Amino acid sequence: MQEHENQFRDFLKQKGLKLTKSRNLVLEAAFKLHEHFDAETLYSHIRAANVSLATVYRTLPLLVEAGLIQLAVRSEGRDRFEHILGHPKHVHWICERCKQVAETDLSSLQEALDAEAKSIKFQIGQITINITGLCRNCSIDEYEQD
């Protein structure tokens, strides 16, 4: 039994919700993927098991509330998530030109954020640090174009 399964079960029990076959499939799909995913992607991985897209949409916020996944970015009009467990906090560097998303460790910023949170007495749930701009390749291209 994986840790995320335990965590989800505990979360549901504590909320008086049921652990269903469909919810479990959504969870498993989310942890099988190791990149950002949207609802449709998750759905494509489990539709064969007769899980509806609506249920995927209904389960996603549960996983977020359980602290298992989080919204990573929103691109092309769709919300893209990523699982959290086993995936250390990171910064997203989003290239506006090629749309690629790079990640770097967040630890160098963590301390400053925690201090700030403490001073305003804010209880941190999730941290999103997304930086848009030009990746190395694309800023080189820009230069050459002029």
Partner DNA sequence: GATCTTGGTGCAAATGATTCTCATTAAGGA
Partner DNA sequence: TCCTTAATGAGAATCATTTGCACCAAGATC
Does residue 57 interact with DNA by CB under 7 A?
yes
User: Which does residue 122 bind out of its own copies, Zn ion, DNA, none, counting CB within 5 to 8 angstroms by kind?
Assistant: its own copies
Judge contact between 62 and 16, C-beta under 8 A. no
Q: Hey, which residues between 13 and 32 contact its own copies (CB under 8 A)?
A: none
d(CA 41, CA 54): 13
Q: Output 29-32 pairs: Cβ under 8 A, ≥24 positions apart.
A: 30/63, 30/68, 30/69, 30/81, 30/83, 31/2, 31/4, 31/83, 31/85
Of the ranges 22-30, 43-51, 53-61, 112-120, which one interacts with its own copies (CB under 8 A)? 112-120
Total residues interacting with DNA, rule: CB under 7 A: 25
Judge contact between 76 and 41, C-beta under 8 A. no
User: Which does residue 82 bind out of Mn ion, its own copies, DNA, none, counting CB within 5 to 8 angstroms by kind?
Assistant: Mn ion
Binding residue for Mn ion, selected from 60, 63, 72, 135, defined by CB under 5 A? 72
**63: closest CA among 117, 17, 124, 101?**
17
Does residue 82 interact with Mn ion by CB under 5 A?
yes
Binding residue for its own copies, selected from 120, 144, 145, 146, defined by CB under 8 A? 120
Binding residue for its own copies, selected from 102, 141, 145, 146, defined by CB under 8 A? 102
Does residue 68 interact with DNA by CB under 7 A?
no
CA distances from 94 to 2, 26, 71, 108, 138 (A): 31, 27, 14, 19, 11
Which residues sit at the interface with DNA, rule CB under 7 A? 12-13, 16-23, 38-40, 50-55, 57-59, 77-79
